[in-house]
Amino acid sequence: MNRSPRPRKTSLNLSPSTHQRLNMYALTAGAAGVSVLALASPADARIVYTPAHEVIVGPHGEYGLDLNNDGVIDFRIINATQVTTDTAITDLVVRDAQGNAVAGTYIPELGAFSAHVFKAGSEIGPFLNFRNGNARLATYYSGGGGQSAHGNWVNVTNGYLALEFRIDGRAHYGWARITVKLAHQGYRYAAELTGYAYETQPETPITAGKMSGPEDEEDKPQAQSTAPAPATLGALAMGAPALSMWRREEVSDEMS
C-alpha cells in the first residue's frame, strides 16, 4: 500500500529583529489581557423602581412602605387626626422603621423635624441631612384660633422624599414620589404615593425620579484605550498566516 508522504516540518530562521517583535507582541497581548481583567468589576449598580397608587387618608390612615420589596416595612406613612372638644389637629408624617432615616430639616416654628421636598433630578445620598424618627410632611390645625396649614408638603404635586435604609447593615438610598392635597371639607390631607425606587449598590447616590440604571452606554464618556489596535492582536491569533507578515517585515529590515 502506498502511503502519502508526511509533510516535512519547516523550521523558520527568523532574524533577531523579528524575534524582538514577536516578544513585544506577546508582552503587549499579555498586558492587554491583564488590563481587561483589572477593569472587570462586580455587577453594575442598578435602580429598582416600583410603581404604586396608594392613597393614604385620615383620620387613621397608614401605609407601610417596603422600599426594596423584601417583605420588611422600611417606612410608615401616617395620616392621623386627633380631635379634642374644641380642636382638631391632622399630622401627615413619615415614620422610620428598622432604624432608617428621612432627609429634612428641623423647623423651630413647628417644633418638629420636617421632611424636605425634593424635585425630580435631585441627587439623594449621604451628603443630605438624614434623621431617624418622625419626619413631618404637613400639619393642619382647626380650632378656636381658626384654621392653619403648615409644613413643606402642603399641596405639593409629585414631590420626592429622600430615604436612607439598610440592607445587611449597609446604607442604601431611595426615593418615594408623593402628592399631598388639602381637602378643605373636613380639613384633612390626602396623600397619594405614586412610585418609589432604590439603588442596589450601598453608599451610592440615586437621582430623584430616575426609574432605571445604570446610564445607557451612549450617555457614558468613552474611555480612551491604550491597548494595541485590534488588527495587531488579531494577527497573533492567526498563527501561520501572521508569520508571512513577519517575514515581510524581516525582508524589509534586511533591505534597509
Distance (Å, whole) CA 54 – CA 70: 18
* pLDDT tens, residue by residue, 14-36: 565 555 554 554 444 444 443 33
The reported pTM is 0.67
* pLDDT tens, residue by residue, 183-238: 766 558 999 999 999 999 999 999 999 999 874 433 344 444 444 444 444 443 44
Q: For residues 17 and 250, is the Cβ–Cβ distance under 8 A?
A: yes
What backbone phi and psi angles, to 5 degrees, belong to 196?
Answer: -155, 160
Helical segments of 84-202, H only: none
Q: For residues 45 and 59, is the Cβ–Cβ distance under 8 A?
A: no
Distance (Å, whole) CA 233 – CA 236: 5
Where are the domains positioned within the chain? 47-213
Task: Provide the sign of the torsion angle of the four alpha carbons 93, 94, 97, 100, taken in this order.
Answer: negative
* pLDDT tens, residue by residue, 120-142: 999 999 999 999 999 999 999 88
Q: How far is CA 54 from CA 22, 23, 66, 175, 212, in A?
A: 68, 67, 13, 15, 21
What backbone phi and psi angles, to 5 degrees, belong to 218?
Answer: -70, -15
All residues at 6 or more sequence positions from 25 whose CB lies less than 8 Å from its CB, including other chains: 232, 235, 236
Whole-number CA gyration radius for the chain = 33
DSSP 3-69: -PPPPPP------HHHHHHHHHHHHHHHHHHHHHHHH--SSPP-EEEEEEEEEEESSEEEEEE-TT-
Taking each continuous run of H as one helix and of E as one strand, the counts in the chain are 3, 14
More confident residue, 38 or 85: 85
Distance (Å, whole) CA 239 – CA 73: 61
Q: For residues 213 and 198, is the Cβ–Cβ distance under 8 A?
A: no
CA neighbours closer than 13 Å in the CB half-sphere of residue 16: 0
The pLDDT value given to residue 241: 44
Distance (Å, whole) CA 242 – CA 220: 36
Distance (Å, whole) CA 27 – CA 192: 62
- At residue 225, the 3 state secondary structure works out as coil
